[in-house]
Structure 1
Amino acid sequence: MHRGLPVILLLLCWGWGSAVQGDGTGSLDVEGVDHYTLALTWHPGFCATQGQSRDECRDPDESSAEGFVLHGLWPSLPARLAERGIDRRRWWQDGCFIEDSRPDGGFCAHPAPALPDALSNDLADAMPGRESCLDHYQYAKHAACLSLPEEAYFARAVELLARFNDSAFVDFVVINRGSDVAINDLIAVFESSFGEGTGQALHLACRGRGNRILSEIRIGIDAERLDAFPATESLVPLRPGECAPRVRIASM
């Protein structure tokens, strides 16, 4: 198995060709939102650290380790809420529940999104967490109060995931399943895939003892440039994550 910098050099040869640009499915037009955070789970890492009791981790599909899976697509703090004195911290913590209180119970207490069969099937493949009603919760928290149509919201999220998974960065992660990788190497591969300086758009989330297991990544995307993702100009900075200098990329 190739590991570390030798693989980075291999991926550098692929360069920009792996940064797939989509043909677009229409914009998520929300007034006063300047960027989205695409939250993608590394499913083996999630199941190894915090999801052991979840339905989607009890009998995981091996294909979920062939790329990242969808956690959510999170609009930034809307201007209308900022004008009311809501800060970013509270928006990330409570989202739409600021205006519409969260019901008692778990994720399944929220209404199920009404999706056409084809999209529902695609979302089931993209988001293993649907088995725990993650889709119910994600829409209720991050989209319902912004009048985002359910179909458009999830179709866009699935599309962005597919584009990202077709990249040299994801190939690097998949190749290194079961290995320890330096955080700096992950950032270097991200920048070789999507452009110099784009590592600032990557937030790495790690769990386990000492934050040594990669569980999720988050990517900042300009709200006006979703159609261009993951081109360099579509990416915007996020705050850095909290991971050990070297992390384990778990395998199923």
Structure 2
Amino acid sequence: MWPRTGTRRILSVLLALWPAAASADRMAGDFDYYVLSLSWQPSWCRTTGDAQDARECAKDSGRDFTVHGLWPQYEDGWPDYCATAERDPSRHEVQAMEDLMTPGLALHQWKKHGTCSGLSAADYFAATRRAFRQVAIPVPFDDLDRNLTLPPLVVEDAFIDANPALSPDGITVTCKAEGLQEVRICLTRDLEPRDCMPDARRDCSRARVLMEQVR
């Protein structure tokens, strides 16, 4: 029989691990809004894709902002890897997303975030596509043909100018090292612009970020 102190210690460890273990018990469809995350492809290629010899990083690939994911959010926090009765997407369904994200990323996004949407995989991918199509990419960044170094706020303001329904609290710009990483836009469950809650706002703290030219 374990000593009482040992039992108490083991119990405290199990309780500490419980939230992570129980995350799969989140109810699908139980969330408040979405975050649409758009990656600046040239930055991802430089930090990750080139080392993987990723096809989407090849010369003349022409990719600027690509979809990282559509993420269900709570007003405070977010769910992931939810239990759902919906089947995983077929190979055809993930391959059909290749113009927005790689098939591998599409499958990962479904498993981590799509399962929490309460939608089927097909409907979740359709919602992701619809959300992306509703966002106008600012002209200066569409097919950027030279490197730019600029304040993150300039990127944010350019998106707001191109998308008048966006508010300054409905968009956040993130960076990784010296490069622009992502633009994240908060949307209602009906995919209309709305303000982000504080835990979804992770603005880049750098004075200037590098936007490498589109390949």
TM-score by length of 1: 0.61
From 114, 135, 139, give the equivalent of 1:143.
114
Partner of 2:152: 183
Contact 1:38 1:73 in 2 (8 A): yes
Partner of 1:51: 49
Shift of 1:249: 0.7
- Give unmatched runs, 5+ long, in structure 1: 1-29, 79-86, 101-110
Instruction: Give the structure, 1 or 2, with the largest relative contact order (CA under 8 Å, sep 6 or more).
Output: 1
- Aligned residue runs from structure 1 range 57-136, under 5 A: 59-60=57-58, 62-65=60-63, 67-77=64-74, 88=77, 91=78, 95-96=80-81, 113-114=89-90, 122-127=96-101, 129-130=102-103, 133-136=104-107
Give the SS at the match of 1:123.
Answer: coil
Partners of 1:135 and 1:32 lie apart in 2 by 21
1:13-70 deviation digits (Å, cap 9, x = unpaired): xxxxxxxxxxxxxxxxx744211011111111111123333353575363443x3111
- Aligned residue runs from structure 1 range 1-252, under 5 A: 31-56=29-54, 59-60=57-58, 62-65=60-63, 67-77=64-74, 88=77, 91=78, 95-96=80-81, 113-114=89-90, 122-127=96-101, 129-130=102-103, 133-164=104-135, 167=136, 169-174=137-142, 175=144, 177-195=146-164, 198-208=167-177, 212-223=178-189, 225-226=190-191, 229=192, 234-237=193-196, 238-251=200-213, 252=215
Give the SS at the match of 2:31.
Answer: coil
Partners of 2:110 and 2:100 lie apart in 1 by 15
Contact 1:47 1:57 in 2 (8 A): no
Give the SS at the match of 1:125.
Answer: coil
Give the SS at the match of 2:126.
Answer: helix
Partners of 2:114 and 2:211 lie apart in 1 by 31
Greater share of residues in helix: 1
Partners of 2:130 and 2:172 lie apart in 1 by 20
Between the two proteins, what is the percent identity of the paired residues? 23
Shift of 1:178: 1.1
Residue type at the aligned position of 1:216? E
Partners of 1:113 and 1:55 lie apart in 2 by 26
Partners of 2:141 and 2:181 lie apart in 1 by 12
Partners of 1:159 and 1:196 lie apart in 2 by 16
Shift of 1:136: 1.5
Partners of 1:58 and 1:72 lie apart in 2 by 17
Shift of 1:139: 0.6
| 1:214 to 1:36, Cα distance in 2 relative to 1, 3 A | same
Larger radius of gyration: 2
Residue type at the aligned position of 1:56? A
Contact 1:207 1:215 in 2 (8 A): yes
Contact 1:43 1:64 in 2 (8 A): no
Contact 2:30 2:116 in 1 (8 A): no
Partners of 1:56 and 1:182 lie apart in 2 by 29
How many equivalent residue pairs?
181
Partners of 2:73 and 2:180 lie apart in 1 by 24
Aligned-residue RMSD, C-alpha: 3.0
Q: Following TM superposition, where does structure 1 have runs of at least 4 consecutive aligned residues deviating by more than 4 angstroms?
A: 119-122
